[in-house]
Amino acid sequence: MSESASKPMYERIFETLRDAIIARQYDVGDRVPSEKELGDAHGVSRITSKKALELLAAAGYIVRQPGRGSFVADPAAAKEPAKGPAGQRVVARRPARADGKLLIGLVITDFADSYGTALIYGMEEASRLHGAYLVLRRSFGVPAYEEEAIRGLLALGVDGLIVFPAQGEYFNAEILKLVIAKFPLVLVDRHLKGVAAASISTDNVKAAKEGTHYLFGLGHASIAFLTPPPADTTAIEERIEGFIQAHAEKGIKVDRALWIEDIASSLPQANAEDNRRRDIAKIKDHLERHPEITAMFATEYNIAQLAFRAARELGLSVPDELSILCFDSPEINGAFPLTHLKQDQHGMGTLAFEHVLKLRDGEPLPRKTLLDAALVVGQSTAPMKPRRRDA
């Protein structure tokens, strides 16, 4: 009973419906309860009941038909992983390779000098240290590509997976299957709510608080917060939380009218100059409508670059008239050195690889591992000065 109670609700609903189907309480072709009906019956959200139905569909127990509902499939077509000792579900593994080398798959949205490259360096160096190989596939933030990449890497016979989940609230059915099957899986940079998978990320709340307090120390009180849509993305949500907590600790009211929460061009699938131009125009208009803003806190480096371009086009001097702070910044000769919160990408990558190996050996791991970020003072921040009203 205690084991069942500790399981996430979506898994418990999945098992209840699966057992009912196996017991022939539902015949082939019968309609099973909808997301809403399951949510009402179990007292959970539709997101949770949707996960359970997605797992049943992925295992071949039901067929989901948009607009009609979910129906019991032919039991002979069920694809649920086999069960191991004590009923533990396992993903079938291929025989060990002749050379004894382990193969670890990595699925990442994308990577660049500002974020991602050092992460991969850490993983690759750890793979060499352990005599293993790292196989990489990019998803570009598209859930369908992410699912395809996971299935393809499993077909290659990888011994474990590291996944940087696609941005947004979408729960990848392939990830859920791996979690239920207890396959060696580590999530990087963010965790998925309600999904019992090991994750490694930055302590975003703590880092955002430190960056905000730094701006307060320079005399800035009217700080614009620039972010892509949070869309249930834990890293962004945590940075927002840290920003708000810093205001509370300082006794400064949070003015959300100074925020821009729909910067889309930094998302992998929207990374195009036309989109960047639209976001720059949005930031320029925001600065003109809010002359009280003296600093901007960007959740990502690419957004900080948009803010820098917007300020330059308005004739505002950075940092004399406008300070800009962000997460991460590339270490490239000639790049304007922004004040930023530097995530320990290399350490994150190294730990992710090592944690996959530990999971493969059956070692227990904490659900969440958080690493500190370091404040690096560059040339984009300075003590507050009131902005010129004609800027």
Q: Is the dihedral of CA 270, 272, 274, 278 positive or negative?
A: positive
The answer as to whether 382 is a domain residue is no
Residues 123 and 60 placed together within one structural domain of the fold: no
Residues 234 and 277 placed together within one structural domain of the fold: yes
> In this structure, what CATH number is given to the domain that contains residue 64?
1.10.10.10
The answer as to whether 24 is a domain residue is yes
Taking only the tens place, the pLDDT of each residue in 92-106 is 444 445 566 899 999
What residues have CB less than 8 Å from 296, skipping those under 6 apart? 223, 224, 225, 226, 304, 307, 322, 323, 324, 325
Which residue segment(s) compose the domain that 310 sits in? 204-343
Residues 157 and 273 placed together within one structural domain of the fold: no
The answer as to whether 95 is a domain residue is no
Residues 318 and 250 placed together within one structural domain of the fold: yes
Residues 208 and 284 placed together within one structural domain of the fold: yes
Please give the biggest Cα pair distance in the chain. 75
Predicted local confidence at residue 223, as pLDDT = 97
Residues 364 and 241 placed together within one structural domain of the fold: no
Residues 188 and 274 placed together within one structural domain of the fold: no
What is the C-alpha separation between 65 and 101, in angstroms, rounded? Answer: 43
**Domain total for the chain?**
3
The answer as to whether 390 is a domain residue is no
Q: Tell me if 71 sits within 8 A of 62, measured CB to CB.
A: yes
Q: Which residues of the chain have pLDDT under 70?
A: 1-6, 74-100, 167-171, 194, 230-232, 268-271, 332-335, 387-391
Residues 213 and 339 placed together within one structural domain of the fold: yes
Taking only the tens place, the pLDDT of each residue in 1-23 is 344 556 788 888 988 998 888 88
The answer as to whether 376 is a domain residue is no
| The model's pTM | 0.74
Tell me which amino acid residue 103 is.
L
Residues 121 and 6 placed together within one structural domain of the fold: no
The answer as to whether 89 is a domain residue is no
Residues 115 and 183 placed together within one structural domain of the fold: yes
Residues 76 and 109 placed together within one structural domain of the fold: no
CA 74 to chain centre: 36
The answer as to whether 33 is a domain residue is yes
Predicted local confidence at residue 308, as pLDDT = 96
Residues 142 and 219 placed together within one structural domain of the fold: no
Q: What is the CB-side half-sphere exposure of residue 82 using CA atoms within 13 A?
A: 5
Predicted local confidence at residue 171, as pLDDT = 63
The answer as to whether 286 is a domain residue is yes
Counting residues of the chain whose pLDDT is more than 70, the rounded percentage is 86
Predicted local confidence at residue 309, as pLDDT = 95
